[in-house]
Structure 1
Amino acid sequence: MIGSSTGPLTPSRVLIVDLPGPDLTPDQGRLLRQSGFGGVCLFARNFSTEKRTARLVSDIRDALGPHALIATDQEGGAVLRRLDVPMPPSPLALGVLDSEDAAREAGRIAARGLLDLGINWNFAPCLDVNVNTANPVIGERSFGHDPETVARLGVAWALGSEEAGVMASVKHFPGHGDTSQDSHLTLPTVDKPRSELERTEWLPFRRAVQAGVGSVMTAHILYPALDPDAPATLSPAVLSGLLRLDWGYDGVIVTDATDMHAIADRYPAGAAAPLALSAGADTVLSCGHGDMETHTDHRQALLSALREGRLSEARVHGACARLDRAVNRFPGVPAPYTADQRSLDTAQVQRWAEQALTWVGIPPRLDPALPLLLIAPISAPVGGPYGDSLSGAHLATLLKEIYPHLHTVLHDDHDPTAALSLLDRFPGIPVLLATTGRWSLTELPRFLASRLRKEQRSALHLVLWNADQAAELKLPSLISHGFRPANLQALAQALMALR
C-alpha cells in the first residue's frame, strides 16, 4: 500500500486536500496521483447529483488508490454538505430530545447518506460544550450546555456513525465552546484553569477516547493552561501530552482546516503542516478553496521539514500506520441506500423535528380566515462552516399555504421603513416576526419586537435557526431548531394547530 507504515515514506499521505468543483479534471487527477495525498475532503461545492458525486468519489479513489479517505462535514442541522438524502437534525435539537437512542440513530442516518457514495469519514460530531451564548460558530452544532449531556449524546452519535461504516471525528478538541471568537477569522483563547477544563470542555472528549471513537479533530485555539504559545493544533502539550500520553488515545488525530485565519495568518504557505505532525497530529486538512497550489505548498513544507530534520521519518511512519488502520476499519466500499431505508429515515427525521419544536410563552390564536402579517429577512448571512440558509421568500410561500390572507414584508435587516408601513396599514392584525440567521441579531428585529410589545399586539416570534434569539426579543416564540424541510414541515403543522 502506498505510504503504508512498512512501505516507502510518502509524507504527502498525511495530507487531506480539497477540490474546486463537482468533477475531477484530468489535471487534478494527475496531481492527486503524483502527490499521493491521503484523501480528499468534500464541501458543498463538490456535491451535485447523486450519480455525478458518486463518479467524483470513484475518480478520487482511482487517482489515490484504495487507501484513500474521503471526508466531509455532515453534522446535521445547518452544517450539511449532502442535501439529497435524509438530513439529520442539529445536535442541539437532539439535545432537546435528550435521547441516546435518537443520537445514535442520527449518526447512522448521517453515515448511510455518505457511505452510499463511498465516503468513509465524517468530520462530526461536535463535542464542544455550548457554555458561551456569544459563541459565533458553535451554537446549535453543540448538543447543549451540560458536559454530561454532550458526552452522552455526542459519543452515541459518533458510535452510530461508525456502526454504519463511516469513521466519526469528534471536534474541536480540546473544546471550542467557551469563546466569543471564530477560529475561521482569528485565533481565539480559552483561558481557564485546567481543573475547569477537565470538568467542562474535556469531559466529552475523554468519554469519546474511552469509547474508542476513530478520530479526533483539533481546534485552532490557545489554551494557556496547557500551552501559552501554540494553538492546540500545533501543540505537543495538547496532542502528544494530553491526548496521547495522559488519555492513551491511539486513534487518528486530524487538524481542522489550515486555511482558517487562526493558522494561515501565522503559519502561511503550509508551514503549519510539519508543526502539526511533530505535535502529534496524523493528518493535516489542507484547504485551498479552488487553489490546488495550496496542497503543493503543504507537501513542500513537509518535505523541507523532513530534509532539515524538523520532522522525523518515524513520526510520519507512525501517522501513516494509524491512517492504514483507519482505512482497514472503514474501507469506504459503497453501501446502497435503499429506497425503503431512505423512506424510514425521512420519517424518523420528521418525527424528531416535531418532537424538538419548542414553545416559549403563550402563543396567539391565528385564524386562517383573517389577515396575518409576516416580517422576515430577505436572506441570512452565512459563513464559517455554514453554506446555506432560509430565504424569506421561501418562508412566505410556505406560510401562504396555511394563511391565504398573509401580507409579507421582507427586509434587509437594516431599513425598517417597509415593515413599519405594513404595521401601520394593518393596525391590530397579528404578526409573525421571523428570525432566520445564525449570527447576532441586528437592531431591526429588536426595534420591531419592542414596538410589538409596546402596542400589545398579538405576535409570534418564529425562531428558525439560532434558538438563543427567542430570549432576546421577549415575544411568545416557536423555536424550530433549524430550517431544513423537516423543520419547516413541523413548523407548519404546529402553526395550523393554533387555529
Structure 2
Amino acid sequence: MGLDPGLRRLALGTLLAAYPGPTPPEWALDLTGAGLAGYTLFGTNVHTPAQLATATAALRNARADVLVAIDEEGGDVTRLAHATGSPYPGNAALGVVDDVASTRRVYAAIGAELAALGITVDLAPTVDVNSADENPVIGTRSFGADPLRVAAHTAAAVDGLQSTGVAACAKHFPGHGATVADSHLELPTVDVPLEVLRERDLPPFAAAVAAGTRAIMTAHIRVPALTGDGPATFSRAVLVDLLRRELGFTGTVITDALEMKGAAVAAGGVGPAAVAALAAGADLLCIGAKVDATLVEEVVAAIVTALGDGRLARDRVEEAAARTAELAAWTRAAAPAPVAPTDLGYAVARRAVTVEGAVAGLDRPLVVQVHATATMAEGRVPWGLGPHLAGTDEVRVVAGETDLSALRTLAGDRPIVLVGRHLHRLPGGAELVEGLAAVHPVTVVEMGWPGRWRPAGVRAFVATYGASHANGRAAAELLGLG
C-alpha cells in the first residue's frame, strides 16, 4: 500500500534535495513535478554557465516555482567558480575593508550572476561571529570577530543579494562562530549562557531579520542552555522561542544539510532528522549533497509516518510547506539585476591585504605553497598564488614531510615566499616556517584566518583574509609577482 498522495505532496513541499551531474535526471524532474520544493546545486552540477542555465530551465519546466539554491558565498566557498576559485573576496576580507557599500556591491554582483543562471536562493551570507580563532569551519567565511561589524555587513550583504531577486539565507543560527569543531563531522558544543549569545552571536541575525532576509539557516550545534543534548536544528527553544518570537523572524527556516553528522548521528539517520527538524519549527529541509530518488522517498515516508502516528502535527507541516511556497513566490516576483563586471571583486580583495614587515626587494623568489586540506563546505577549489605568477618558480610541499635542507638548496640565494592556509595548524607547519626563516629571508602569505600566531624570524607576514582567486591575485600583485 502506497503513501497517501496528499500527504506525500505535503512532505515533498518541505524538502530541498540534490542530484548528481550537470543535467537533472528524470527522477529529479519527476519529483519536481510531484511537488518537491527544490534542489541545492553543488560543484558537480556546475560545468559551464550555459549548461547550468539549461539545467535550471529544465527544473523550471517541470514546475515553474521550484526553488534552486546554491552555496555561493564568494571567497573560499564557491560552486560557480569551483574550477578556478571565486573572483570575489569572502566575508573576512570584506570585514577587514569594512566598507558596507563595497559589501553590498559584491553581494549584488554575486546575486546578479546567480539570477542570470536561474538560481533563486543563495545559501549565504555566513553571519557567524568568528570569536574562536581556531574555528575549523567558519574562519574566513565570517565578516569578523566583532558582533557590530558583522551585523553591519550582514545587513549590506542581505540587501545586495535580494536587490537582484535572489533570496538570501543568513547562516548558521544561533551562531557557529565560537566552535572549535566542524558540524559536518561531529556535533560541536557552544556552552555559554543565553546572555552571551545575545551579546555576541545574535546581533548579526537580528540585523539580517531587520534587513528582510527571506531565509535563515539552522546550525547543527549544541547549546546546552537552549538545546540540551541535541543540535539547534532540532530545538523549538532555538527556532521558535528565540528566532521567531524574540527576533521576530517571519521568513523560511532552512536546515543545514541533514546528512551532516551533527544532525544525522544525533537523530539516527536523515529521515528521523527530517522529522525532528520539522517538529522543532524548521520549514525547508536540506537533505544534503549525496541524494537520489530512494533517499528522497525514505525521507518522505518518515515524515508521512510521523504524521500518521502523531509525532508530527499536520498543521506544523502545512505551515512549513506554506512558508517554503512563500519563499518561492517571492523569488518569482523579483526582477533580476544586470550582471556587474568581475573586476569589482579583485579591487576589493586588494584593499583587504594587510602587511606586517617589509615586502620590498622580492627579486626572483621561490614560491612555496604548503598543502592544506579543505573543509567539506569549501570543497576542493584551487587556491594560492600559482595562477597569478609571471616567470616565478613555484613548488608545492607538505609541511610535515618537507626536507628543509633540500628546500634551502632549491632556493639558493633567492628569498622564499611561503604560502599557506592556517599554517600553524598544519602538522609541522610552524616548524617549517621558522626553520626556513632561521637561515633564509622568508615572507609568509597566510590565506586563511590569520588569528594571533606570527612565526618567528620572518621578513614579512601578509594576510589576504581568504583564498579565493581574487585574494590570490591581490597578494601576487602586492608582492610584485603577478
Q: CA distance change for structure 1 residues 336 and 102 in 2, over 3 Å: closer, same or farther?
A: closer
2:77 to 56, 76, 79: 79
Structure 1 residue runs of 5 or longer lacking an equivalent are 1-5
**Is 1:410 the counterpart of 2:396 in the alignment?**
yes
Q: CA distance change for structure 1 residues 48 and 427 in 2, over 3 Å: closer, same or farther?
A: closer
The structural deviation recorded for 1:109 is: 1.0
Asked if the contact 1:89–1:349 (Cα under 8 Å) also holds between the matched residues in 2, the reply is: yes
Partner of 1:307: 308
Partner of 2:376: 384
Q: Distance in 1 between matches of 2:79 and 2:289?
A: 17
Q: Any idea what SS the aligned residue of 1:104 has?
A: helix
**Is 1:358 the counterpart of 2:354 in the alignment?**
yes
Partner of 1:222: 222
Q: CA distance change for structure 1 residues 135 and 472 in 2, over 3 Å: closer, same or farther?
A: farther
1:348 to 344, 350, 365: 344
TM-score (norm 2): 0.91
1:463 to 408, 427, 446: 446
> Residues 245-283 of structure 1: CA distance to partner in whole angstroms, max 9, x if unpaired?
222211111100000001111221411112211111111
Q: Any idea what SS the aligned residue of 2:170 has?
A: strand
**Is 1:287 the counterpart of 2:281 in the alignment?**
no
Q: Distance in 2 between matches of 1:497 and 1:117?
A: 35
Question: More displaced, 136-145 or 209-218?
Answer: 209-218
Q: CA distance change for structure 1 residues 304 and 288 in 2, over 3 Å: closer, same or farther?
A: farther
Asked if the contact 2:226–2:237 (Cα under 8 Å) also holds between the matched residues in 1, the reply is: yes
Asked if the contact 1:364–1:460 (Cα under 8 Å) also holds between the matched residues in 2, the reply is: no
Asked if the contact 2:75–2:86 (Cα under 8 Å) also holds between the matched residues in 1, the reply is: no
Instruction: Name the amino acid aligned to 1:414.
Output: G
**Is 1:429 the counterpart of 2:414 in the alignment?**
yes
Q: Distance in 2 between matches of 1:138 and 1:351?
A: 24
> Residues 386-411 of structure 1: CA distance to partner in whole angstroms, max 9, x if unpaired?
1234367xx45643x154xx4x4422
Q: CA distance change for structure 1 residues 363 and 86 in 2, over 3 Å: closer, same or farther?
A: closer
Asked if the contact 2:184–2:376 (Cα under 8 Å) also holds between the matched residues in 1, the reply is: yes
Asked if the contact 1:14–1:319 (Cα under 8 Å) also holds between the matched residues in 2, the reply is: yes
The structural deviation recorded for 1:56 is: 1.0
The structural deviation recorded for 1:469 is: 7.9
Structure number with the bigger relative contact order (C-alpha 8 A, sep ≥ 6) is 2
> Residues 347-397 of structure 1: CA distance to partner in whole angstroms, max 9, x if unpaired?
2112101111111222352224xxx322223x43223201234367xx456
Partner of 1:54: 53
Q: How does 1:131-142 map to 2 (within 5 A)?
A: 131-142=131-142
Q: How does 1:211-360 map to 2 (within 5 A)?
A: 211-267=211-267, 268-331=269-332, 335=336, 337=338, 341-343=339-341, 346-360=342-356
Q: Distance in 2 between matches of 1:166 and 1:466?
A: 28
Instruction: Name the amino acid aligned to 1:44.
Output: G
Q: Distance in 2 between matches of 1:389 and 1:474?
A: 31
Asked if the contact 2:74–2:86 (Cα under 8 Å) also holds between the matched residues in 1, the reply is: no
Instruction: Name the amino acid aligned to 2:479.
Output: L
Q: CA distance change for structure 1 residues 269 and 483 in 2, over 3 Å: closer, same or farther?
A: closer
Q: CA distance change for structure 1 residues 473 and 308 in 2, over 3 Å: closer, same or farther?
A: farther
Q: CA distance change for structure 1 residues 397 and 7 in 2, over 3 Å: closer, same or farther?
A: closer
Instruction: Name the amino acid aligned to 2:476.
Output: A
The structural deviation recorded for 1:296 is: 1.5
**Is 1:149 the counterpart of 2:135 in the alignment?**
no
Asked if the contact 1:22–1:53 (Cα under 8 Å) also holds between the matched residues in 2, the reply is: yes
Structure 2 residue runs of 5 or longer lacking an equivalent are 1-5
Instruction: Name the amino acid aligned to 1:330.
Output: T
Partner of 2:3: none
Q: Distance in 2 between matches of 1:398 and 1:148?
A: 35
Q: CA distance change for structure 1 residues 413 and 124 in 2, over 3 Å: closer, same or farther?
A: same
Q: Distance in 2 between matches of 1:66 and 1:271?
A: 30
Asked if the contact 1:129–1:175 (Cα under 8 Å) also holds between the matched residues in 2, the reply is: yes
Partner of 1:67: 65
Instruction: Name the amino acid aligned to 2:39.
Output: V
Q: Any idea what SS the aligned residue of 1:330 has?
A: helix
Asked if the contact 1:189–1:223 (Cα under 8 Å) also holds between the matched residues in 2, the reply is: yes
Instruction: Name the amino acid aligned to 2:462.
Output: L
Asked if the contact 1:9–1:317 (Cα under 8 Å) also holds between the matched residues in 2, the reply is: no
Count, aligned residues: 473
The structural deviation recorded for 1:54 is: 1.0
Q: Any idea what SS the aligned residue of 1:304 has?
A: helix
Question: More displaced, 479-488 or 196-205?
Answer: 479-488
Asked if the contact 2:367–2:418 (Cα under 8 Å) also holds between the matched residues in 1, the reply is: yes
The structural deviation recorded for 1:292 is: 3.3
Partner of 1:3: none
Partner of 1:40: 39
The structural deviation recorded for 1:422 is: 3.1
Q: Distance in 2 between matches of 1:85 and 1:398?
A: 12
Q: Any idea what SS the aligned residue of 2:310 has?
A: coil
> Residues 152-195 of structure 1: CA distance to partner in whole angstroms, max 9, x if unpaired?
00121011101111110000000000011110000111000111
Q: Any idea what SS the aligned residue of 2:188 has?
A: coil
Q: Distance in 1 between matches of 2:455 and 2:286?
A: 37
Q: Any idea what SS the aligned residue of 1:310 has?
A: coil
> Residues 181-229 of structure 1: CA distance to partner in whole angstroms, max 9, x if unpaired?
1100001110001111110011111222233211110001111111213
Q: CA distance change for structure 1 residues 86 and 179 in 2, over 3 Å: closer, same or farther?
A: closer
Asked if the contact 1:380–1:389 (Cα under 8 Å) also holds between the matched residues in 2, the reply is: no
Q: CA distance change for structure 1 residues 332 and 112 in 2, over 3 Å: closer, same or farther?
A: farther
Q: CA distance change for structure 1 residues 459 and 300 in 2, over 3 Å: closer, same or farther?
A: same
Q: Distance in 2 between matches of 1:389 and 1:438?
A: 16
Instruction: Name the amino acid aligned to 2:379.
Output: G
Q: CA distance change for structure 1 residues 367 and 86 in 2, over 3 Å: closer, same or farther?
A: closer
Q: Distance in 2 between matches of 1:7 and 1:300?
A: 9
The structural deviation recorded for 1:241 is: 1.0
